Amino acid sequence: MIEKKWNSVILREICDSINYGYTASAKSEPIGPKFLRITDIVPNRIDWSSVPYCGISEKSLSKYLLEKDDIVIARTGATTGYAKQIKTDHQAVFASYLVRIRINPKYDSRYVGFVVESNEYKRFIQLNLGGAAQPQANAQVLTSFLIPLPPLPTQRKIAAVLSAYDDLIENNTRHIKILEDMAQTLYQEWFVHF
């Protein structure tokens, strides 16, 4: 429930920058930085080991380089409005069908990231899509969402609680993967090699 004393602001009003991504072809060889695409941000987690690479000049690299706490949003296709906050440092740039937003430091970017990753945000974008053949939304639409904005200490508390749950989910996912790998190895040893 949103407290009545909380303000609401349009997302773009708390952004320091809003940028479209870099146009290039993805490469499987490790040439240049990682190249984050829409398909990489749709799953629950970004699997950086499967993100391809791209060639890019030094000048362009500084313009498109992702930083921790940046938020990237899909702007075209069936997943328009899907978003991910960059939670770790990677040498990565973002593809042209993504929009990157950077939140003004006066606000908790983790809190804003959780709001933008929410189903409510996706529903809002789906209701405001353009495009006849292919759904799409420009940066103006993607940043027109009205965000409930509690005082900064409350933003930080909400972000801390949600981050703790996120970390727990990630740890459990890692443990499940390890157990699945162990079960697969055991199966191979018992039933394939004997």
Task: Report the domain count for the chain.
Answer: 1
Provide the domain limits for residue 131: 7-192
Going residue by residue through the chain, which has 194 residues, state the pLDDT in tens, using 9 for 90 and above. 455 678 899 999 999 999 999 999 999 999 999 999 999 999 888 999 999 999 999 999 999 999 999 999 999 999 999 999 999 888 999 999 999 999 999 999 999 999 999 999 999 999 998 876 788 999 999 999 999 999 999 989 988 888 777 767 677 777 777 788 788 887 777 777 66
CATH code for position 178: 3.90.220.20
Establish if 129 belongs to a structural domain.
Answer: yes
Q: Is residue 86 situated within a structural domain?
A: yes
Alpha carbon distance 21, 142 (integer Å): 14
Does the residue 54 lie in any domain? Answer: yes
pTM of the model: 0.83
Task: Judge whether 2 lies within some domain.
Answer: no
DSSP 73-124: EE-BSTTTT-EEE--S--SEEEBTTEEEEEE-TTS-HHHHHHHHTSHHHHHH
